Structure 1
Amino acid sequence: MIGRILPYPLLTISLAVFWMTINSFSPGHLLLGTGVAMIASWAMASLRPPKPRIRNWHLLIKLIAIVIYDIVRSNIAVASIILFPRNRKTRAAFMTVPLDLRDPMGLAVLAVVLTATPGSAWLEYNSSQGTLLIHVLDEVSEAHWQNLIKSRYEKLLMEIFE
Protein backbone atom coordinates (compact mmCIF):
# COMPACT_ATOMS: atom_id res chain seq x y z
CA MET A 1 0.00 0.00 0.00
CA ILE A 2 2.73 2.47 0.97
CA GLY A 3 4.64 1.49 -2.19
CA ARG A 4 1.74 2.80 -4.28
CA ILE A 5 1.41 6.06 -2.39
CA LEU A 6 5.17 6.65 -2.06
CA PRO A 7 6.98 4.56 -4.68
CA TYR A 8 10.25 6.38 -3.88
CA PRO A 9 9.95 7.45 -0.23
CA LEU A 10 13.55 8.69 0.05
CA LEU A 11 13.10 10.84 -3.06
CA THR A 12 9.82 12.21 -1.71
CA ILE A 13 11.31 13.08 1.67
CA SER A 14 14.45 14.58 0.11
CA LEU A 15 12.46 16.77 -2.27
CA ALA A 16 10.12 17.94 0.50
CA VAL A 17 13.09 18.81 2.73
CA PHE A 18 14.79 20.61 -0.17
CA TRP A 19 11.59 22.55 -0.83
CA MET A 20 11.50 23.66 2.79
CA THR A 21 15.15 24.76 2.71
CA ILE A 22 14.67 27.03 -0.30
CA ASN A 23 11.38 28.50 0.95
CA SER A 24 10.36 29.96 4.26
CA PHE A 25 8.61 27.55 6.57
CA SER A 26 4.86 27.76 6.65
CA PRO A 27 2.13 25.14 6.68
CA GLY A 28 1.24 26.10 3.12
CA HIS A 29 4.80 25.61 1.87
CA LEU A 30 5.02 22.30 3.73
CA LEU A 31 1.84 21.10 2.04
CA LEU A 32 2.86 22.41 -1.38
CA GLY A 33 6.40 20.98 -1.09
CA THR A 34 5.07 17.59 -0.03
CA GLY A 35 2.58 17.62 -2.92
CA VAL A 36 5.27 18.49 -5.46
CA ALA A 37 7.53 15.79 -3.99
CA MET A 38 4.79 13.16 -4.22
CA ILE A 39 4.01 14.08 -7.84
CA ALA A 40 7.72 13.86 -8.67
CA SER A 41 7.88 10.44 -7.01
CA TRP A 42 4.87 9.21 -9.01
CA ALA A 43 6.39 10.59 -12.21
CA MET A 44 9.62 8.77 -11.44
CA ALA A 45 7.69 5.54 -10.85
CA SER A 46 5.92 5.88 -14.19
CA LEU A 47 9.30 6.03 -15.93
CA ARG A 48 10.25 2.72 -14.31
CA PRO A 49 13.99 3.36 -14.16
CA PRO A 50 16.12 0.26 -13.76
CA LYS A 51 17.66 -0.22 -10.35
CA PRO A 52 21.38 0.55 -10.43
CA ARG A 53 23.54 -2.52 -10.02
CA ILE A 54 26.61 -1.64 -8.02
CA ARG A 55 29.08 -4.50 -8.09
CA ASN A 56 31.79 -3.08 -5.81
CA TRP A 57 30.39 -0.86 -3.08
CA HIS A 58 33.78 -0.37 -1.43
CA LEU A 59 35.10 1.38 -4.55
CA LEU A 60 32.45 4.10 -4.18
CA ILE A 61 34.40 5.49 -1.23
CA LYS A 62 37.54 5.64 -3.36
CA LEU A 63 35.62 7.37 -6.17
CA ILE A 64 34.11 9.93 -3.79
CA ALA A 65 37.55 10.72 -2.34
CA ILE A 66 39.06 11.14 -5.82
CA VAL A 67 36.20 13.39 -6.94
CA ILE A 68 36.38 15.60 -3.84
CA TYR A 69 40.15 15.94 -4.28
CA ASP A 70 39.73 16.77 -7.98
CA ILE A 71 37.01 19.34 -7.29
CA VAL A 72 39.19 21.14 -4.74
CA ARG A 73 42.24 21.00 -7.04
CA SER A 74 40.18 22.22 -10.02
CA ASN A 75 38.69 25.08 -8.02
CA ILE A 76 42.19 26.26 -7.17
CA ALA A 77 43.31 25.91 -10.81
CA VAL A 78 40.29 27.79 -12.17
CA ALA A 79 40.68 30.51 -9.55
CA SER A 80 44.31 30.99 -10.53
CA ILE A 81 43.34 31.19 -14.21
CA ILE A 82 40.75 33.85 -13.43
CA LEU A 83 42.77 35.84 -10.88
CA PHE A 84 46.14 35.69 -12.63
CA PRO A 85 45.39 35.56 -16.37
CA ARG A 86 48.76 36.94 -17.46
CA ASN A 87 50.81 34.29 -15.70
CA ARG A 88 49.70 31.51 -18.00
CA LYS A 89 48.28 31.02 -21.42
CA THR A 90 45.01 29.14 -21.31
CA ARG A 91 43.09 27.82 -24.21
CA ALA A 92 39.57 26.52 -23.90
CA ALA A 93 38.76 23.62 -26.20
CA PHE A 94 36.21 21.04 -27.21
CA MET A 95 37.50 17.49 -27.40
CA THR A 96 36.29 13.98 -28.01
CA VAL A 97 37.07 11.15 -25.61
CA PRO A 98 36.48 7.52 -26.65
CA LEU A 99 34.79 5.58 -23.85
CA ASP A 100 34.53 1.87 -23.12
CA LEU A 101 31.99 2.47 -20.35
CA ARG A 102 28.47 1.52 -21.47
CA ASP A 103 26.49 1.21 -18.23
CA PRO A 104 23.86 4.00 -18.11
CA MET A 105 24.37 4.61 -14.38
CA GLY A 106 28.15 4.73 -14.81
CA LEU A 107 27.77 7.21 -17.66
CA ALA A 108 25.42 9.34 -15.54
CA VAL A 109 27.92 9.38 -12.68
CA LEU A 110 30.72 10.30 -15.10
CA ALA A 111 28.57 13.16 -16.43
CA VAL A 112 28.02 14.47 -12.90
CA VAL A 113 31.71 14.16 -12.03
CA LEU A 114 32.93 15.96 -15.15
CA THR A 115 30.36 18.72 -14.86
CA ALA A 116 30.87 19.17 -11.09
CA THR A 117 34.62 19.54 -11.55
CA PRO A 118 35.33 23.18 -12.44
CA GLY A 119 37.03 23.67 -15.77
CA SER A 120 35.31 20.79 -17.56
CA ALA A 121 31.80 20.10 -18.80
CA TRP A 122 30.10 17.06 -20.31
CA LEU A 123 28.41 18.14 -23.54
CA GLU A 124 27.33 15.11 -25.52
CA TYR A 125 27.63 11.34 -25.51
CA ASN A 126 27.41 9.50 -28.83
CA SER A 127 26.26 6.00 -27.90
CA SER A 128 26.67 4.56 -31.40
CA GLN A 129 30.36 5.54 -31.50
CA GLY A 130 31.00 5.41 -27.75
CA THR A 131 32.49 8.90 -27.72
CA LEU A 132 32.11 11.75 -25.31
CA LEU A 133 32.32 15.42 -26.26
CA ILE A 134 33.60 17.63 -23.45
CA HIS A 135 34.59 21.26 -23.05
CA VAL A 136 37.65 22.14 -21.01
CA LEU A 137 38.75 25.55 -19.81
CA ASP A 138 42.47 24.83 -19.97
CA GLU A 139 43.48 22.38 -22.66
CA VAL A 140 46.85 20.99 -21.69
CA SER A 141 46.60 18.42 -24.46
CA GLU A 142 43.84 16.21 -25.74
CA ALA A 143 45.85 13.11 -24.83
CA HIS A 144 46.21 14.40 -21.26
CA TRP A 145 42.44 14.84 -20.84
CA GLN A 146 41.67 11.49 -22.48
CA ASN A 147 44.14 9.73 -20.21
CA LEU A 148 42.79 11.53 -17.15
CA ILE A 149 39.17 10.59 -17.84
CA LYS A 150 39.89 7.03 -18.90
CA SER A 151 42.37 6.11 -16.17
CA ARG A 152 41.03 8.17 -13.28
CA TYR A 153 37.26 7.88 -13.71
CA GLU A 154 36.21 5.45 -16.42
CA LYS A 155 38.29 2.52 -15.17
CA LEU A 156 36.94 2.93 -11.63
CA LEU A 157 33.35 3.38 -12.81
CA MET A 158 33.61 0.22 -14.89
CA GLU A 159 34.78 -1.68 -11.80
CA ILE A 160 31.87 -0.29 -9.80
CA PHE A 161 29.02 -0.70 -12.32
CA GLU A 162 30.00 -3.30 -14.94
Structure 2
Amino acid sequence: MKRWLPSPLVSASLWAMWLLLNDSLALVHLLTGAVLGVAVPLLLAPLLPPLGPVRRPWTVARLILRVGADVVLSGLQVAQAVWRVPRRPPRGAFVAVPLQLREPHALAALAIIVTVIPGTVWCELASDRSALLLHVFDLDDEAAFIEDLKVRYEQPLREIFE
Protein backbone atom coordinates (compact mmCIF):
# COMPACT_ATOMS: atom_id res chain seq x y z
CA MET A 1 0.00 0.00 0.00
CA LYS A 2 2.81 2.39 0.93
CA ARG A 3 4.34 1.84 -2.51
CA TRP A 4 1.31 3.26 -4.36
CA LEU A 5 0.21 5.73 -1.69
CA PRO A 6 3.32 6.99 0.10
CA SER A 7 1.27 9.74 1.77
CA PRO A 8 -2.40 8.73 2.03
CA LEU A 9 -3.37 11.91 3.88
CA VAL A 10 -1.74 14.08 1.20
CA SER A 11 -3.46 12.04 -1.53
CA ALA A 12 -6.85 12.44 0.11
CA SER A 13 -6.23 16.16 0.65
CA LEU A 14 -5.26 16.70 -2.99
CA TRP A 15 -8.33 14.81 -4.15
CA ALA A 16 -10.62 16.82 -1.86
CA MET A 17 -8.96 20.10 -2.86
CA TRP A 18 -9.43 19.27 -6.55
CA LEU A 19 -13.11 18.61 -5.98
CA LEU A 20 -13.54 21.81 -3.97
CA LEU A 21 -11.74 23.92 -6.57
CA ASN A 22 -13.88 22.52 -9.36
CA ASP A 23 -17.07 22.72 -7.28
CA SER A 24 -18.31 19.56 -8.94
CA LEU A 25 -18.73 15.89 -8.21
CA ALA A 26 -18.83 14.94 -11.89
CA LEU A 27 -17.13 11.66 -12.75
CA VAL A 28 -14.37 13.39 -14.70
CA HIS A 29 -13.47 15.53 -11.66
CA LEU A 30 -13.63 12.56 -9.30
CA LEU A 31 -11.25 10.59 -11.55
CA THR A 32 -8.91 13.53 -12.25
CA GLY A 33 -8.67 14.31 -8.54
CA ALA A 34 -7.94 10.66 -7.77
CA VAL A 35 -5.22 10.50 -10.42
CA LEU A 36 -3.64 13.71 -9.08
CA GLY A 37 -3.94 12.43 -5.51
CA VAL A 38 -1.99 9.31 -6.43
CA ALA A 39 0.47 10.75 -8.98
CA VAL A 40 1.66 13.90 -7.20
CA PRO A 41 2.88 12.17 -3.99
CA LEU A 42 4.50 9.41 -6.07
CA LEU A 43 6.36 11.95 -8.20
CA LEU A 44 7.42 14.09 -5.23
CA ALA A 45 8.41 11.25 -2.87
CA PRO A 46 12.04 11.09 -4.11
CA LEU A 47 12.46 14.81 -3.42
CA LEU A 48 11.54 14.58 0.26
CA PRO A 49 14.32 14.06 2.79
CA PRO A 50 13.86 11.05 5.04
CA LEU A 51 11.84 11.83 8.14
CA GLY A 52 13.74 11.90 11.36
CA PRO A 53 12.23 11.18 14.73
CA VAL A 54 10.24 13.97 16.34
CA ARG A 55 11.15 14.16 19.99
CA ARG A 56 9.54 15.92 22.93
CA PRO A 57 5.84 16.24 22.05
CA TRP A 58 5.29 18.74 24.88
CA THR A 59 7.91 21.01 23.36
CA VAL A 60 6.04 20.74 20.04
CA ALA A 61 2.79 21.74 21.75
CA ARG A 62 4.45 24.68 23.55
CA LEU A 63 6.07 25.85 20.31
CA ILE A 64 2.74 25.73 18.45
CA LEU A 65 1.05 27.76 21.18
CA ARG A 66 3.94 30.23 21.28
CA VAL A 67 3.86 30.73 17.51
CA GLY A 68 0.08 31.21 17.60
CA ALA A 69 0.38 33.86 20.30
CA ASP A 70 3.27 35.53 18.48
CA VAL A 71 1.25 35.70 15.25
CA VAL A 72 -1.53 37.57 17.04
CA LEU A 73 0.79 39.89 18.99
CA SER A 74 3.00 40.62 16.01
CA GLY A 75 -0.05 41.33 13.86
CA LEU A 76 -1.20 43.88 16.40
CA GLN A 77 2.28 45.43 16.56
CA VAL A 78 2.49 45.71 12.76
CA ALA A 79 -0.98 47.27 12.64
CA GLN A 80 0.05 49.77 15.31
CA ALA A 81 3.24 50.59 13.40
CA VAL A 82 1.25 51.14 10.20
CA TRP A 83 -1.18 53.48 11.96
CA ARG A 84 1.62 55.57 13.43
CA VAL A 85 3.53 55.95 10.13
CA PRO A 86 2.90 59.71 9.87
CA ARG A 87 4.44 60.27 13.33
CA ARG A 88 7.23 57.67 13.23
CA PRO A 89 7.91 55.53 10.20
CA PRO A 90 8.83 51.88 10.86
CA ARG A 91 12.53 51.08 11.05
CA GLY A 92 12.80 48.15 8.67
CA ALA A 93 16.12 46.34 8.63
CA PHE A 94 17.86 43.23 7.41
CA VAL A 95 19.15 41.04 10.23
CA ALA A 96 21.70 38.25 9.92
CA VAL A 97 20.89 35.58 12.49
CA PRO A 98 23.61 33.01 13.24
CA LEU A 99 22.11 29.51 13.35
CA GLN A 100 22.97 26.33 15.18
CA LEU A 101 20.17 24.41 13.42
CA ARG A 102 21.33 22.10 10.66
CA GLU A 103 18.56 19.51 10.37
CA PRO A 104 16.51 20.09 7.17
CA HIS A 105 13.10 19.55 8.80
CA ALA A 106 13.95 21.94 11.62
CA LEU A 107 15.07 24.58 9.11
CA ALA A 108 11.84 24.08 7.15
CA ALA A 109 9.83 24.53 10.36
CA LEU A 110 11.80 27.68 11.17
CA ALA A 111 11.10 29.00 7.67
CA ILE A 112 7.38 28.44 8.15
CA ILE A 113 7.41 30.08 11.57
CA VAL A 114 9.33 33.15 10.38
CA THR A 115 7.14 33.48 7.31
CA VAL A 116 3.84 33.21 9.17
CA ILE A 117 4.71 35.85 11.78
CA PRO A 118 3.71 39.32 10.53
CA GLY A 119 6.60 41.74 10.15
CA THR A 120 9.30 39.17 9.35
CA VAL A 121 10.40 37.80 5.99
CA TRP A 122 12.87 34.95 5.41
CA CYS A 123 15.27 36.30 2.77
CA GLU A 124 18.22 33.95 2.52
CA LEU A 125 19.88 30.97 4.15
CA ALA A 126 23.67 30.77 3.93
CA SER A 127 24.87 27.88 1.78
CA ASP A 128 26.53 26.28 4.81
CA ARG A 129 23.34 26.84 6.87
CA SER A 130 25.24 28.89 9.43
CA ALA A 131 23.24 32.10 9.10
CA LEU A 132 19.81 33.30 8.15
CA LEU A 133 19.02 36.67 6.62
CA LEU A 134 15.67 38.11 7.68
CA HIS A 135 13.93 41.36 6.96
CA VAL A 136 12.15 42.83 9.97
CA PHE A 137 9.40 45.42 9.47
CA ASP A 138 10.10 47.48 12.60
CA LEU A 139 13.32 46.79 14.49
CA ASP A 140 14.29 48.50 17.73
CA ASP A 141 17.25 46.41 18.94
CA GLU A 142 18.96 43.95 16.59
CA ALA A 143 20.79 42.00 19.32
CA ALA A 144 17.60 41.59 21.36
CA PHE A 145 15.69 40.46 18.25
CA ILE A 146 18.34 37.83 17.44
CA GLU A 147 18.41 36.53 21.01
CA ASP A 148 14.62 36.42 21.15
CA LEU A 149 14.37 34.49 17.87
CA LYS A 150 16.98 31.99 18.99
CA VAL A 151 15.35 31.40 22.38
CA ARG A 152 11.74 31.38 21.19
CA TYR A 153 12.12 29.31 18.01
CA GLU A 154 15.58 27.88 17.34
CA GLN A 155 16.10 26.34 20.76
CA PRO A 156 12.76 24.45 20.83
CA LEU A 157 13.31 23.27 17.24
CA ARG A 158 16.71 21.94 18.22
CA GLU A 159 15.12 20.05 21.11
CA ILE A 160 12.46 18.60 18.83
CA PHE A 161 14.57 17.62 15.80
CA GLU A 162 18.18 17.19 16.90
TM-score (norm 2): 0.90
**Partner residue, 1:123:** 123
The 3-state SS of whatever aligns with 1:3 is coil
**Partner residue, 1:144:** 144
**Aligned mates of 1:49, 1:155 — CA distance in 2:** 22
**Partner residue, 1:74:** 74
**Aligned mates of 1:91, 1:57 — CA distance in 2:** 37
How many residue pairs get matched? Answer: 161
**Aligned mates of 2:30, 2:79 — CA distance in 1:** 39
- Going from structure 1 to structure 2, the CA distance change for 1:141 and 1:49 (only over 3 Å counts) comes to same
Q: Which moved more, 1:62-71 or 1:121-130?
A: 121-130
Residues 119 and 136, structure 2, Cα contact 8 Å, conserved in 1: yes
1:57 paired to 2:57: yes
**Partner residue, 1:5:** 4
**Partner residue, 2:96:** 96
The 3-state SS of whatever aligns with 2:76 is helix
The 3-state SS of whatever aligns with 2:139 is coil
Q: How do 1:14-53 residues align onto structure 2 when only pairs under 5 Å count? A: 14-27=13-26, 28-53=28-53
RMSD of the TM alignment (CA)?
A: 1.6
TM-score (norm 1): 0.90
**Aligned mates of 1:48, 1:75 — CA distance in 2:** 32
- Per-residue displacement from partner, 1:112-138 (whole Å, max 9, x unpaired)? 000000100111111426000011111
**Aligned mates of 1:38, 1:52 — CA distance in 2:** 24
**Partner residue, 1:134:** 134
Paired residue type of 2:84 = F
List gaps (5 residues or longer) in structure 1: none
